[in-house]
């Protein structure tokens, strides 16, 4: 926020931000400093600036900008100030702010329908390989997709999570929420992670409109995944170096009613007896095309 704007605002006794009351030390500082202000030109840019206590400033980093998305301002403008919403059973003083640009508008813009393709299966079943092949196939068709890989998200978004039971559940929940945002943007989101429990996958499905969550089960037997062991994780788990590893000392609950099942039973590589990686990706692309996700709805 420009200091000049702050000065004009303070001169009219308007609110810089609802978070800064008269008793706030920052507001007292502003009133005191602005009373001593003088106008100068920045020697480097020639722009007007204010001098506070013999120092020139063009921006104040600690001033919170007035934005339409500010929760407190949104609440007042919507006439719902003080309204309490229940989010996950907890009271939150927030109000949803609608935007005139809708999901349909975004889908019309990029000529496709947003959805989530959720690839689940044991470690070593080929989830990430399928995700990349599918993303390439969609790219070749001129369709926009993005991959949320179970390992990759732990480098940033979920870097604070461990592999304990609660954190693994939170890992899936966060990926589900981000995938929902991608789908709402009109993007085909490909989530590839073990996500071993039906309840957690069902919770992610429930976030989206009916039909927009497409569950793909990599139906590969444990002994095949363990024979592949591309990351050496099964070997470490069998040696007791990894606890709670899915398929070894923690269960995997296969889907009961998923949209697509891909069997990939060879011990080596990611090809089944009848399907190359490209052919497996084509199975998913055909489903998307048949159900209208590759054209404007």
The one catalytic residue in 33, 125, 128, 195 is 195
116's enclosing H/E stretch is strand 115-120
Distance CA 19, CA 124 (A): 51
Distance CA 207, CA 216 (A): 17
214 with 116: CB under 8 angstroms?
A: yes
76's enclosing H/E stretch is helix 71-77
Quick one: CA torsion of 93, 96, 97, 103, rounded to 10 degrees? 160
Secondary structure class of 288 (helix, strand, coil): helix
Active site residue 195: yes
Distance CA 173, CA 200 (A): 7
Using only C-alpha atoms, what is the Rg of the chain? 26
Distance CA 158, CA 153 (A): 6
Residue 229's φ and ψ, nearest 5 degrees, are 40, 60
DSSP summary character for residue 59: B
Name which of 103, 121, 102 is nearest 212 in CA terms: 103
Q: Among all residues, which ones are annotated catalytic?
A: 195
């Amino acid at each position: 926020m420009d200091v000049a704007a702050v000065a004009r605002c303070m001169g009219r006794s308007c609110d810089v931000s609802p978070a800064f009351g008269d008793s706030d030390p920052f507001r007292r500082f502003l009133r005191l400093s602005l009373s001593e202000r003088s106008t100068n030109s920045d020697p480097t840019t020639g722009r007007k600036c204010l001098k506070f206590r013999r120092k020139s400033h063009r921006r104040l980093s600690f001033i919170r900008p007035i934005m339409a998305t500010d929760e407190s301002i949104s609440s007042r403008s919507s006439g719902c100030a003080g309204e309490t919403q229940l989010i996950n059973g907890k009271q939150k003083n927030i109000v949803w702010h609608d935007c005139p640009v809708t999901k349909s508008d975004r889908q019309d813009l990029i000529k496709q329908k947003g959805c989530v393709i959720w690839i689940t299966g044991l470690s070593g079943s080929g989830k990430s390989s399928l995700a990349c092949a599918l993303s390439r196939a969609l790219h070749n068709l001129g369709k926009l997709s993005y991959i949320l890989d179970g390992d990759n998200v732990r480098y940033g978004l979920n870097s604070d999570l461990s592999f304990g039971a609660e954190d693994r559940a939170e890992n899936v929940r966060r990926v589900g929420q981000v995938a929902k945002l991608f789908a709402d943007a009109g993007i085909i989101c490909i989530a590839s992670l073990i996500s071993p429990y039906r309840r957690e996958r069902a919770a992610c499905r429930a976030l989206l409109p009916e039909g927009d969550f497409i569950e793909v089960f990599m139906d590969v037997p444990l002994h095949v995944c363990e024979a592949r062991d591309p990351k050496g994780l099964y070997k470490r788990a069998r040696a007791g170096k990894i606890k709670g590893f899915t398929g070894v000392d923690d269960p995997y609950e296969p889907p009961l009613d998923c949209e697509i099942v891909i069997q990939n039973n060879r011990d080596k590589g990611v090809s089944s007896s009848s399907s190359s990686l490209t052919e497996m990706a084509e199975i998913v692309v055909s489903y998307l095309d048949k159900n209208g996700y590759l054209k404007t709805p």
